[in-house]
Amino acid sequence: MAVGLLGIGYGFFDAPKTTEQVEKILEAKHHGHDAHADAHHSKAEGHDHAAHEAEHQEHLEHVLHQLQNKPWAAVYVSALFFMLISLGVLAFYAIQNVAQAGWSPILFRVMQGITAYLPVGSVIFFILLVLSAFHFNHLFVWMDADLINPESPKFDKLIANKSGYLNEYAWLIRAAIFLIGWNLYRYFSRRNCLAQDEASDNTFFKKNFNISAGFLVFFIVTESIMSWDWIMSVDPHWFSTLFGWYVFASFFVSGITVIALTTLYLKSRGYLEHVNTSHIHDLAKFMFGISIFWTYLWFSQFMLIWYSNIPEEVTYFITRIEQYNLPFFGMLAMNFIFPFLILINTDFKRITWILVMAGIVILFGHYIDFFNMIMPATVGDQWFIGAAELGALAFFLGLFIFVVFSALTKSPLVPKRNPFIEESKHFHY
Amino acid sequence: MSTKVIHALYNDDDILMDAVKETRKAHHHIEEVYTPFPVHGLDKAMGLAPTRLAIASFMYGAVGLAVATWMMNFIMIQDWPQDIGGKPSFSYIENMPAFVPIMFELTVFFAAHLMVITFYMRSKLWPFKQAENPDVRTTDDHFLMEVTVNNNEEELTSFLKNTGAVEIKVVEKH
């Protein structure tokens, strides 16, 4: 966490404040790329000097915004990623409750431990959203008041038409409703689960069943809107209908992977007596299946847009392929090809070190997935995975681990009176 | 050469499982077990080797993927690279997203069908095949274990009787 904080601090310190500084940075870069500089000059010859100067200034301003966004976007991606991981775990937990799964109750306390990050993560994330809404950064282009002002030279009709939905207040209120709703479910389901341990009948279990079903309905609606608000709206000119599902698959598989990794760790330390390789095998199957589900949605979104090639949609992928080639296709290898080939084998799904390796690759792959969703619109071709990005990642990883493992110490790791706990203890596949 | 086998019939799968385990422990050779439905854990109790059908299926899938790739590369890119609606047909990778649905389907097609055919061949199943059923009741509600006799007919009969068999038959097998 400390290293991460230093990294974030350095990232903000390093961000340029004025266009003059940007000019210096660009010049320093151009020294390294003579060919690039030449192209720049030869292009400039056609223009007269003044026009060139204005254009140059405009370019500098553009790059300045991108560089100023960089540390903000780095923090934003990491905060969002870790908060959504715990949300993914919460969704998985609710599904297991509603489906009355016989294998998983033994893991419920592990899942509750992981979702303990949700309140902490929500607060940090909401503060980030408030900072954005009050113009401490330029992550969300549509928040610029000039864009919806018809008098302004920067007036953007497309964004102005969306301002009924995309305006700071409605946006913050929606965010608050989503975060409060998710946290309420987490709070009450954990409380009921603990109360069920001491109860003499199954009322709390039934209550949990009901609120889990209600939560899943709430979740799927809010998840969709959340993905428009927090991720899609960084590109306010672009829209995609299956985007919500795509984002869901991404953090859902990450959440399941985190459950598997935490379980393996606790098991290796001897804290989970009743968890056997069959439980691990089931989690690995979910990791495998949802990885492929993610790929299916990724490809469906990509291929439909690539195929029809409508200009207003396709720019989204053109910027990504041209400027983010390695992350964009690298994540496909990490999130699909690697888990597909590794986790297809039944025996491998029970071997700890293979699962840990696959899990780490999947988590990194989905971090890059979120990186790819946010960065192109906020920092564009100025992206780099450097101190700010790694610092933010390390900070939130440290916070996540700290919160999760302190939460795990607060209650016994095996629920006592869950009606399915005996079946779960003897689960064998 | 004709050999003798004993058919021991059971009417409960739990008793059958115990009988299989005891028979294996006493080192009698189980020729075959006939059951009306899959009994969980029977293959493990009998000590049968795990199936390799899944491995075969994976390789068939790889063949399907190769066939699809080769076919579309030849037809769409090599043989007659037309401009169809502005799709880039200069190289396979450029137009690959359009081919993925077919690559996927052919992979699944090959993996599934060739695996099923492999299963039929390995378990010797085909139309008009003579059924190899030693006792018609094993398709309804009885379980039958077939054990080879090596000059120990008396001993084996009494041993199987003790494992809970409801009926014991000594059969000449050709």
Q: What is the pLDDT of residues A211-263, one digit of tens each?
A: 999 999 999 999 999 999 999 999 889 989 999 999 999 999 999 999 999 99
pLDDT at position A56, please?
77
How sure is the predictor about A112, in pLDDT bands with cuts at 50, 70 and 90?
very high
Instruction: Give contacts of B 41-80 with A, CB under 8 A.
Output: 54, 58
- Indicate if the pLDDT at residue A35 is higher than 60: no
The ipTM estimated for the assembled molecules is 0.88
pLDDT tens for residues A403-421?
Answer: 999 999 998 888 888 889 8
The answer to whether B86 contacts A309, with C-beta atoms less than 8 Å apart, is: yes
C-beta atoms of A302 and B97 within 8 A: yes
**Which residue is closest to A302 within chain B, CA to CA?**
B97
Average pLDDT on A351-358 reads 94
pLDDT digits (tens, 9 = 90+) for A329-351: 999 999 999 999 999 998 999 99
Nearest-neighbour CA in chain B from A428: distance (Å): 12
pLDDT, one tens digit per residue, over A258-299 is: 999 999 999 998 888 899 999 999 999 999 999 999 999 999
CB crowding B13-32: b at 16 or more within 10 Å, else e: beebbebbeebeeeebebee
- pLDDT tens column, B84-123: 999 999 999 999 999 999 999 999 999 999 999 999 999 9
Please state, as a whole number, how many other Cβ atoms lie within 10 Å of the Cβ of residue B121: 10
Put simply, the answer to whether A344 touches B58 (Cβ < 8 Å) is yes
A303: closest CA of chain B, how far (Å):
6
- Which of B54, B58, B97 is closest, CB to CB, to A307? B97
pLDDT of the residue at A32:
44
pLDDT over 60 (residue A401): yes
Give the pLDDT of residue A37.
Answer: 40
The SS3 of residue B29 is: coil
pLDDT in tens, A61-83: 778 888 888 888 999 999 999 99
Q: What is the mean pLDDT of residues A168-190?
A: 94
Q: Inform me whether the C-beta atom of residue B97 falls under 8 Å from chain A C-beta atoms.
A: yes
Minimal C-alpha gap between A424 and chain B (Å) = 19
Residues 6+ apart with CB under 8 A from B74: none
Could you read off the pLDDT of B3-24 as tens digits, one per residue?
Answer: 788 899 998 889 999 999 998 8
CA distance A232 to A142: 12
| Residue A41 pLDDT class (50, 70, 90 cuts) | very low
Nearest chain A residue to B41, by CA: A429
Res. A36: pLDDT tops 50 = no
Confidence of residue A45 (pLDDT cuts 50, 70, 90): very low
**Is the four-CA dihedral A77, A32, A20, A147 of positive or negative sign?**
negative
Q: Which residues of A touch B58 (CB under 8 A)?
A: 344
Residue-wise pLDDT for A296-310, tens only, equals 999 999 999 999 999
Q: How far A46 CA sits from the closest chain B CA (Å)?
A: 33
For residue A346, which residues of chain B lie inside 8 Å, CB to CB? Answer: 54
Overall pTM > 0.90: no
**What residues in A contact B54, CB-CB < 8 Å?**
346
CA–CA dist A170, A176 (Å, integer): 10
